[in-house]
Structure 1
Amino acid sequence: MMRKQLNKQLWWFTGVASIAALVLFILWAIFSRQTVIEVRVASVADNDSLVCYFVEPNFQLRWIHSVEKQWWEEEYLRQKDGLLLTNTYFQAFGAGTPSTEKFATIQKEGYVGYQINQRFPHLNWVVSRLTQGEIDYAGQRIFIHQLVPDYSEVTIMPKAYSLIDRFNKDFCHELPSDGSQ
């Protein structure tokens, strides 16, 4: 008889502990947030928009400059209040090229690099196939110009996602490179 009562108490305790753990997990999933970089594309061709994200704090934008026809690269770091442009690299000088800043601590062969350290709350970037815009992060290279119609505006910003938000959106590197959805 005593054994049955202990067994019943053990099952009751296990049930209560399981329910408490489940409630704590649900609360954690609802209220915990992870800072990510959100990439949102508003297409000019249609009213559809594409949203993806990545969790790495560092990323790089690359494109071919429309006048010099040379690669231009910018390195960014996600911060609490926005994005920090840390360095910029380019293959050729032209109008608007920064030249009064300090040289970047790491130089890339074939490029001139400068330390910029300018903060932005978000970035608005118009991409086209002519400029071959891409986003590079954590060894991933996203050819954004192949994913969206020409002259689409790409907004890049830090955001905080809950676990549920993350299930509703794609990692940027999981998007098909041919632009199909």
Structure 2
Amino acid sequence: MRNKSIVVAVVMLALWFIPLVPILAIKDQDTGKILTAVFTQNNTFSLEWIHSVELEPWQETYRLADGKIKLTETRFKAFGAGSPVNEGDEIFFKDGWIVIRGINRELDFLPLTISPRSGHRLDTGRKVLLLQDVAPGDRNLIIEQVKVNLPRAVYYRIFIAGVTYWCQAPMPVSGTNK
């Protein structure tokens, strides 16, 4: 009985201190500090923003797997410089969007420059996070999947991921975010 108690105690301590819980961290690129953390639904999330040149909405969908961030789909309203037309398994039009699927580009982290004009939003499948509320002004961020220990995961879930920054507002209409 005593041996079982010791084993249970060791396992509980391990769960308490060893980073096992995956989160999606939004970090300041300059300091590396985690500004907020989110929990995704089905290990997917999307980023939405207004393109700075075309002033049209863009959306990219990512999947988390094996500690990597994989770009799986992009959709945009108009072709322009930098449009990823040579990637993906299929390109088609749907509801006014140009959709490219099957991109499967793997990243260790996702660097991102946000500004008040672009209206970057992160959609976790549960809620939508306005990145400008997390990091005001023109900022360089990193989105990265990290593992944290159980107490930190609970902290992020209760005190960080559940407060303040969530919205349900629709994306701005193209050209209105000048």
TM-score for both structures, normalised by structure 1: 0.74
Which of 147, 154, 158 is the aligned partner of 1:160? 147
Question: Which stretch shifts more, 82-91 or 149-158?
Answer: 149-158
For residues 134-173 of structure 1, the aligned pairs below 5 Å read 134-170=121-157, 173=161
Q: 1:175 and 1:167 mapped to 2: Cα distance?
A: 14
Aligned residues: 162
Structure 2 residue identity aligned to 1:38:
A
RMSD: 3.0
CA–CA distance in 1 between the matches of 2:124 and 2:69? 14
Does the 8 Å contact 1:35/1:160 carry over to 2?
A: yes
Which structure has more RCO (C-alpha within 8 Å, separation ≥ 6)? 2
CA shift in 2, pair 1:93/1:122, >3 Å: same
CA separation of 1:123 and 1:32: change in aligned 2, threshold 3 A: closer
1:176 to 158, 164, 178: 164
Partner of 1:51: 36
**Structure 2 runs not aligned, ≥5 long:** 167-178
1:112 aligns with 2:98: yes
**DSSP-derived class of the 1:169 partner:** helix
| Paired residues of 1:79 and 1:158 also in contact (CA < 8 A) | no
From 72, 76, 96, give the equivalent of 2:82. 96
Larger Rg: 1
Question: Is 1:35 the counterpart of 2:22 in the alignment?
Answer: yes
Q: Structure 2 CA distance, aligned partners of 1:175 and 1:42?
A: 23
Task: Please say if 1:60 is aligned against 2:46.
Answer: yes
Q: Is the CA contact (8 Å cut-off) linking 2:22 and 2:145 kept in structure 1?
A: yes
What CA distance in whole angstroms lies between the structure 2 residues aligned with 1:159 and 1:104? Answer: 32
- Following the alignment from structure 2 to structure 1, what is the Cα–Cα distance between the partners of residues 78 and 4? 65
Q: Which residue of 2 aligns with 1:75?
A: 61
The 1:100/1:43 distance shift into structure 2, 3 A limit, reads closer
How far apart, CA to CA, are the structure 1 residues paired with 2:165 and 2:14? 36
**Deviation >2 Å, runs of 4+:** 15-32, 41-44, 100-105, 167-173
Instruction: Tell me which protein shows more helix as a share of its residues.
Output: 1
Matched-pair identity in %: 23
Measured after TM superposition, the shift of residue 165 of structure 1 is: 2.5
Is the CA contact (8 Å cut-off) linking 2:36 and 2:161 kept in structure 1? no
Which has the larger displacement, 64-73 or 140-149? 140-149
Give, in angstroms, the shift of residue 19 of structure 1.
6.8
